[in-house]
Amino acid sequence: MSEEIFKKVVSHSKEYGFVFPSSEIYDGLGAVYDYGQNGVELKNNIRQYWWRSMVQLHENIVGLDSAIFMHPKIWKASGHIDGFSDPMVDNKDSKKRYRADNLLEDQIDKYIKNGKTQKAEELQNALDNAITNNNLEALKYLIIAHEIACPVSGTRNWTDVRQFNLMYKTQMGALAEDAEDVYLRPETAQGIFVNFLNVQKTGRMKIPFGIAQTGKAFRNEVVARGFIMRMREFEQMEMQFFVRPGTEMEWFNKWKESRLQWHLALGTNPDNYRFHEHVKLAHYANAAVDIEYKFPIGFKEVEGIHSRTDFDLSQHQEFSGKKLQYFDPEINQNYVPYVIETSIGLDRMFLVQMCNAFKEEQVQNGEQTETRTLLALPPALAPIKLAVLPLVKKDGLPELARKIMADFKFEFNCHYEEKDSIGKRYRRHDALGTPLCITVDHDSLNDESVTIRHRDTMQQERVKITALKDIIMPQISMNELLRKLN
């Protein structure tokens, strides 16, 4: 049932110009997607909500836009060249590739579903052990011992388990012999770390302070599935907050709460969010938590908050040979700052919004009931804020509607539409998530009033054209949303 809803969200996204498979006329490209005319607006609005809440509302957070290409040594220092990999295994008959840990996790789920809790526990422990010790042979042994078959071929004809680095490598320089290997960044965070001193010095930043950045990241995911949940090219919104060593847990807890509030301010039911505390920590972290959202296919990570200690700055200090320290005048000491990171996937947040907003309702139309499909997006994030609709294409109504449009188009994204019956136009804008429609009818020419129709309640009210701005602005403005966070 929930899988069904997820499928509906995927097809709705395509049908209404939100998300298209990349290179579709060439049969697509695995786990790469394009954002259509409405998708790009929604994506920009989410990015803007994040950026303004981080940079504009915090005096001690500033922005950055670092390049995708970076010096290759950066990825050695960060640990990505040696450690950013997934264990993979191929089925020799189907030629399908899987993440070995995912195959085993699916098997654990199967045991749990069949009431074999002890077996599930044993396998979980063995899996944790193998992963912690990076023991690829043990992973292969578990796949064989638990008789795991390929979901496609049904056979157990597996290759050995190998590590598969997720970074894309390319070359910089025209001549093959001089060319240097460079990588497409797998996260935006490193661009922030290597600019730490540039920003601190030129911005005269005092600890604690943060640097925020949004941008593309690339990962050659072994198994990419779940629509835009797991893509090979995606966008991150990351903020690294530099603090005095010893104060990191206080800041970690602060950011954990404040990031959840950012999500909840959009009006999402709090039951659909939860924290997932990491028990096993990455080698660089001393605390980590995910914010998970209940997608129709289950709870999945949307954002990670990590206390990264001084790992990154210390590594870059060592590999670059440049001091990355801060002199703290309050305690008269030099130190390498500790870092709290908040990292959210823009595309995953987009998917949260689509899943959360997608609704099918039964409504009465005269004698008949019909299904109304609606995207109940937070108005401030909606691609189109206002549709201006003349009732008919004549009698001076289009002219008046255009005049109203001309006033509003400087404020926000509005849409003029005169094709189809008014009922059909309302339905189309419900499906696009447009929070407000105004209809210009024959009476409008005399009483200088129009009808406002609200997406969620379908209620209509008659208002003076001169009063429109005061009524509409507070309902759709991102400022109102941001004020909730202050």
**Which residues sit at the interface with ligand ATP, rule CB under 6 A?**
187, 219, 221, 230-231, 234, 236, 301-304, 343-345, 347-348
How near is the Cβ of 138 to ligand ATP at its closest, in Å?
A: 21
- Shortest Å, Cβ 223 to ligand ATP: 10
**Residue 187 or residue 248: which is nearer to ligand ATP going by CB?**
187
Query: Quick count: other Cβ atoms within 10 Å of Cβ 122?
Result: 14
Residue sitting closest to ligand ATP (CB)? 345
- Tokens coding 360: 């099918």
CA-based max dimension of the chain: 82
Q: Which is nearer to ligand ATP, 99 or 429 (CB)?
A: 99
CB 271, min distance to ligand ATP, A: 20
Query: How far is the C-alpha of 448 from the C-alpha of 464, rounded, in Å?
Result: 6
Q: Which is nearer to ligand ATP, 230 or 425 (CB)?
A: 230
Least distance in angstroms from the C-beta of 302 to ligand ATP:
5
Tokens, residue 243: 């603090």
Residue 457 tokens, joined: 């309640």
- Whose Cβ is closer to ligand ATP: residue 352's or residue 404's? 352
To ligand ATP, the closest distance from the beta carbon of 152 in angstroms equals: 22
CB of 290 to ligand ATP, least distance (A): 7
Residue 237 vs 436, nearer CB to ligand ATP: 237
Q: Nearer to ligand ATP by C-beta: 97 or 462? A: 97
Between CA 295 and CA 357 the distance in angstroms is 11
Positive or negative, the CA dihedral 138, 141, 146, 148 is positive
- Whose Cβ is closer to ligand ATP: residue 93's or residue 221's? 221
Cβ atoms within 10 Å, residue 280: 9
Q: Nearer Cβ to ligand ATP, position 150 or 344?
A: 344
Q: Quote the least distance from Cβ 269 to ligand ATP, whole Å.
A: 20
| Minimum distance of ligand ATP from residue 23's CB (angstroms) | 18
- The residue (of 284 and 326) whose beta carbon lies closer to ligand ATP is 284
Tell me how far apart the alpha carbons of residues 118 and 216 are, in angstroms, rounded to a whole number: 43
Q: How far is the CB of 418 from ligand ATP (least distance, A)?
A: 39
